Chain A
Amino acid sequence: MSKALVEMVKGRMREFRREPSAFFFVLFMPLVWMLILGGAFSGGSHPRAAVGWIPSEGEFGARVQQALSSNPDFMLQRGDAAQQRKNLGKGAVDLFIEPTADSRLLYHYDAQHPDAQHVRRWVDETIQTAFGRSNPVISEARPESVPGSRYIDFLLPGLLAFSLLTTSLFGTGMTLVLHRRENLLRRFLTTPLRTHDYILSHLIGRLLIMVLELAVILSAGFLFFGFRIQGSWVAFLGLCMIGTASFTAIAIAAGARMTQTSAYNSLVNLLTLPMMLLSGIWFSRSHFPAWSQDLLQLLPLTALVDGLRHIALEGEGWRDVQGQMGLLALYGILAFLWARKRFRW
């Protein structure tokens, strides 16, 4: 390593340490997301249902209400029909029950909503059993917590990948654009500083920051949620490195000739927001139409997220994520070539 490269990398770390917003985005944001989302979807052993009930006079109404309120999984909400309809619209209840004068029950729910279907069956079974229906086959539920199957296990690699993408794009690219605008890049050009030392300093700086991000996100996942990497640690780390290098190259390509930070910001949002949705960071991509699945797999963020999930959740190793690694490397090389061609000091 040349003297210049050492100084430049030291400088990159210095910029990071002394820029509170960089610190915030890199280390704090993923933690906040993790705690909010991880917390929201892992409370309680199984989900509860909000059920609306229109109270009625008479013995029939009392028995139904008794059956429902004796099951702790139902959160019963009393109110008249208008009130219930409003709640249903807001999503405050999954379903509401209207008893009729001739002792029948009407279930009102949103037919489009998969959860509501499920709640209807569940509510109905509870009531029928309470009224004496006997079940000929004896069955018992045995809930188990399979490692790697919880939402937080799915979310964490996604958050990690997304955080590597955004910090590379905002960190490296923004630095580049700012320094170009302030004529600092041209100032460097009048010194014997070599171009590849400059580029390398960005890459090495990113990888060091990546180690920090990994440490923070993984140890928080480990401590708070019992997250585990089922597969190879080395492969996990290697994939993160290739991903970060590739994203850094994309950042350099994106900021190759811009001088306006606001324009760069828009460009980065244009790149990251669709990818964030399409790559399945928060939710599984299986909701997207079948024909799009193959295309979505070609996105760089998808490659990283999928690879990380394969390793962390399915216990895979190097050989199983070669495709994702190759794709990321390809993006990195293409972006780098593009940047070299278009770069303005």
Chain B
Amino acid sequence: MALLGPNGAGKTTLIEMLVGLTPPDSGAIEYGGCSFFTHKAEILETIGVQLQESTLYKKYTVRETLQLFASFYRGPTQEAALLTRLNLQEKADTRLEKLSGGQKQRLYLGCALVHNPQLLFLDEPTAALDPQSRRHLWELIQSLKKEGRGVLLATHYLDEAEFLADRILILDQGHVIATGTPRELISQHSRESQLDVQVRHLDREAWTRMQREFARLRLQGDLEAGWVSAAGEPADLEVLLQQLLAHHKGTVQAVTMRQSRLEDVFLQLTGRKIRDE
């Protein structure tokens, strides 16, 4: 499950409550009927956590770090297998201060995996990584999913959520505002399509009139840059497009019309609030 939300939505706070770091003001958190008050040790043995903005000992090597974390748990560990899995065999004896960002993130994930947990909580594991490293991490997470582990992944990358998550939970200002599979979210919240038109210069007069006439299509545009975007029923968009074409003969540079994606749903659900701030 992916936890989606803009900055400050409360993703980290939610995860910290779920792993017992922050007590909730109200409500209760239970793992199969066990709560942190009664079964803390048992719960901690079954969950693996990667916190946002958490660093490890710079002076330790990769192997030493994994050994340290493994020593906290009851069961035996197979560091060698884990190193291979993380693709860190060659870096096993390198100190953390010398690792690249991607290698570090993989090690952080590894620390959450040393005890073979059933449930994983990952807070923005791919923040600030290059596309290759992100892919690499995605594949790792996907393989964990295939092994039947539950993964709760906080992120604000929509492609990440779309790629990895079976279900998505959108959070905004501490409230759950939508949950479902990506497909469900799109069909529930956005039956509409998206139109983007790029012209050389937007005709001021026509633009003002269109804004009035097509208010419900949530028109946005820029006179100078010459772009227009709108979202709504495909039939309405078609009318808008015809008018735009009529007013800007010969200067149209690009037209795209597509079905909404998760990104549009996300912006639709959370975007307005950001602009209000």
Give the interface of A toward B (CB within 8 A). Answer: 3-4, 6-8, 11, 14-15, 18-19, 182-184, 186-193, 345
Contacts and interface: CB of A to CB of B under 8 A. Distances in A.
A183 B55 contact: yes
A191 B69 contact: yes
Nearest to B108: A187
A191 B40 CA distance: 10
A191 B45 CA distance: 7
18 contacts: A6-B71, A8-B68, A11-B57, A11-B64, A15-B57, A18-B95, A182-B54, A183-B54, A183-B55, A184-B54, A186-B16, A187-B54, A190-B51, A191-B49, A191-B73, A192-B44, A192-B74, A193-B72
B59 A192 contact: no
B99 to A, nearest CB: 15
Contact of B51 (A4, A15, A186): A186
Given A7-B71, A191-B72, A192-B73, A183 B53 contact: yes
Contacts of B45: 192
B151 to A, nearest CB: 15
A141 B16 CA distance: 78
Nearest to B65: A11
Main secondary structure of the interface of A (DSSP, over half): helix
B269 interface: no
Contact of B49 (A8, A190, A345): A190
Nearest to A3: B71
B21 A14 contact: no
Interface string B166-204: 000000000000000000000000000000000000000
Given A11-B60, A15-B57, A182-B54, A4 B71 contact: yes
A192 B71 contact: no
B68 A190 contact: no
A22 B238 CA distance: 71
B21 A189 contact: yes
How large, as a class, is the contact surface on chain B? 20 to 34
A190 B19 contact: yes
Nearest first, the 5 closest Cβ-Cβ pairs linking A and B are A7-B71, A183-B54, A190-B49, A18-B59, A191-B72
A183 B51 contact: yes
Contacts of B68: 7-8, 11
B20 interface: yes
A15 B56 CA distance: 12
Interface in B20-73: 20-21, 41, 44-45, 47, 49, 51, 53-57, 59-60, 64, 67-69, 71-73
Given A7-B68, A192-B45, A19 B53 contact: no
Contacts of B41: 192
A182 B44 contact: no
Contact of B20 (A6, A187, A190): A190
Contacts of A191: 44, 49, 69, 72-73
Contacts of B53: 183
Interface of B: 16, 19-21, 41, 44-45, 47, 49, 51, 53-57, 59-60, 64, 67-69, 71-74, 95, 111
Q: Kindly name the residue among A182, A189, A192 whose own CB sees the greatest number of chain B CB atoms within 10 A.
A: A192
B261 to A, nearest CB: 34
Contacts of A186: 16, 21, 51, 54
Given A14-B60, A15-B59, A19-B59, A192 B72 contact: yes
B12 to A, nearest CB: 11
Nearest to B45: A192
A182 B55 contact: yes
Q: Kindly name the residue among B44, B45, B68 whose own CB sees the greatest number of chain A CB atoms within 10 A.
A: B68
Nearest to B15: A190
Given A184-B57, A186-B54, 11 more contacts: A4-B72, A6-B71, A8-B68, A11-B60, A14-B59, A184-B55, A186-B16, A188-B72, A190-B19, A190-B20, A192-B72
A16 B5 CA distance: 41
A7 B77 CA distance: 14
A3 B114 CA distance: 14
Contacts of B71: 3-4, 6-8
Nearest to A181: B55
A18 B58 CA distance: 10
Q: Kindly name the residue among B44, B54, B64, B71 whose own CB sees the greatest number of chain A CB atoms within 10 A.
A: B71
A8 B68 CA distance: 7
B67 to A, nearest CB: 6
Contacts of B44: 190-192
A15 B96 CA distance: 13
Nearest to A17: B59
Contacts of A3: 71
A188 B111 CA distance: 11
A187 B51 contact: yes
A192 B19 CA distance: 12
A259 to B, nearest CB: 12
A19 B59 CA distance: 8
Contacts of A11: 57, 60, 64, 68
B17 to A, nearest CB: 12
B255 to A, nearest CB: 48
Given A182-B54, A183-B54, A190-B19, A7 B47 contact: no
Contacts of A190: 19-21, 44, 47, 49, 51
B31 to A, nearest CB: 13
B21 A7 contact: no
